[in-house]
Amino acid sequence: MKKLLVALMAVFMLTAFKSDKPAYYFYNSKGKKVKYEKVLKAALNADVVFFGESHNNPIAHWMELELTKDCYKAKGDNLILGAEMFERDNQLILDEYLSGKISGKSFKDEARLWPNYSTDYKPLVEFAKKHKLPFIATNIPRRYASVVYKKGFEGLEKLDAEAKTYIAPLPIAYDSAVKCYNDMLHMPGMGGHVNQNFPKAQAIKDATMAFSIAGYAQKGILFLHYNGSYHSDNYQSILWHLNMYKPGLKIVTITTVEQADIDTISDETRKVADFILIVPEDMTKTY
């Protein structure tokens, strides 16, 4: 009896306390756990990879950097980086920093960097700088996205010719019935008073990023793009526009999902991307 009690206690301890605390798991779109090497192999066979992050998730940022390093080992100079976090009118400043023409202080002072740049995006930029990789500022200048939010797409037509060079060619394709845009009109907490231009402001960002990527994407080159997960989830948003600008590209998507139990994945979640990076929801944040 004593031995049985000891055995039962051991089983209880094993079920009550996990022997390890994994920080993440990768799943594929079939809902199966996969090794990082599987994700890397798929990325290396793609023309464009979208890494959809949670902006304040440290595991996502670390994994972006690890994937970048390993893609560079395999692709070398046939690798291009790009990111939502840099706006097209700052490409010159970004290029000047990468080539050593301006200091880090000048870059930081003038490039309208995100508040979490130093912790989350600087490692990627510094990697590009060290290895002389192109880093493309893909996003629309936020002031023009604001114009769309206030005045619709029509507001962009009044901009001068130079301003329009930082935006996808007008008029952009837009369909309010596309799920990613339609859902924005019904987001929780919006109180039913959603500005109809809200998803249009998202669409002009998506179209501009897609147009930026299309200008560089080609067979034999891997374009690795970092963006918020909403911009590439469900194969919509940026991908919806990119498939119009440059059809036929082989695209792989990665998304980041935070949840209480990382040992399971729902049917709905697994369909969001080709690979899903599941991270504990109580993971510490970068901001």
pLDDT tens for each residue of 84-99? 999 999 999 999 999 9
CATH of domain 25-280: 3.40.50.11550
Structure-derived torsion over alpha carbons of residues 273, 185, 114, 132, reported in degrees to the nearest 10? 40
Of 45, 46, 74, 18, nearest to 217 by C-alpha is 46
Give, to the nearest 10 degrees, the angle between helix 142-151 and helix 198-214. Answer: 140
Alpha-carbon distances of 197 from 147, 149, 176, 283, rounded to whole Å: 10, 5, 10, 34
Distance, CA of 221 to CA of 255 (rounded, Å)? 22
Name the band, by pLDDT with cuts 50, 70 and 90, for residue 194: confident
Residue 225 contacts residue 51 (beta carbons within 8 Å): yes
Distance, CA of 116 to CA of 56 (rounded, Å)? 8
Residue 72 contacts residue 222 (beta carbons within 8 Å): no
pLDDT tens for each residue of 106-152? 999 999 999 999 999 999 999 999 999 999 999 999 999 999 999 99
Name the band, by pLDDT with cuts 50, 70 and 90, for residue 56: very high
**Mean pLDDT over residues 191-198, rounded?**
76
pLDDT tens for each residue of 141-165? 999 999 999 999 999 999 999 999 9
**Mean pLDDT over residues 53-74, rounded?**
98
Helix (H) or strand (E) holding 251: strand 251-259
Residue 79 contacts residue 224 (beta carbons within 8 Å): yes
The pLDDT of residue 167 is: 98
pTM value is: 0.92
Q: What is the DSSP letter of 120?
A: I
